[in-house]
Amino acid sequence: MTPSIDLRTFHSLPPARQHLLDVYADVRADLLHLPNYAVTAFAERLDRHFKEPGWVAVLAYEQDEPIGYAYANTVDSEDRWWKRVTPAPPTEYTDRHVVALKEIGVRIPWRGTGIARKIHDTLLADRGEPYVTLMVNPLAGDGKVHRLYESWGYEDLGRSQPSPASPVLTAMIRAVR
């Protein structure tokens, strides 16, 4: 049974930033020793992404405790998001604005309850872009995370390595609706 949760949408980073950092640190606790996953690296990415067009975050709370999050922004054909994907994605995706889901995570006690999907769907509910894209480490959870995204309708698009410290990720895409 899904616990009673409160989903809150943020269009400004300052009121959500500390909760995003706290949940991220808990969600990625077993990876924080790796440079790409360090909280400081995440904070730098978060601050940079907030300045990009269309930024929005959704945080899930249970009794005012933040338990999960996602954030996204808009990317266009000139965005570095697309330039790092190989093979080059079809222009049907890159010739328009799309939503890039940059991060999503749920604390361990609440995983498997459907909260991640609720956060995801709330994040996309008011978006006008036709497609949403994300990148996933295909090894995360022994492939479970990739399979979860497939069950949500995402399809593989290519590979990407956003930074030298990052693992090679699988770029995925699906229609927003």
Task: Decide if 51 is inside a domain.
Answer: yes
Q: What's the pTM?
A: 0.93
Residues 49-60 have a mean pLDDT of: 97
pLDDT at residue 35, rounded to an integer = 84
Domain range for residue 103?
A: 6-175
Write the CATH number for 63.
3.40.630.30
Residue 17 lies in a domain: yes
Q: Is 1 within the bounds of a domain?
A: no
Residue 14 parent element (H or E): none
- Decide: residue 161, CB within 10 A, 0-12 exposed, 13-18 middle, 19+ buried: middle
- Give, in order, the Cα–Cα distances in Å from 11 to each of 18, 46, 153: 15, 13, 26
Entry field: residues in the chain: 177
The number of domains in the chain is 1
Residue pLDDT, tens place only, 79-133: 999 999 999 999 999 999 999 999 999 999 999 999 999 999 999 999 999 999 9
pLDDT band at 1 (very low <50, low <70, confident <90, very high): very low
Q: Is the per-residue pLDDT at 164 higher than 50? A: yes
Q: Does the residue 136 lie in any domain?
A: yes
48 found inside a domain: yes
Q: What is the pLDDT, as a whole number, of residue 3? A: 53
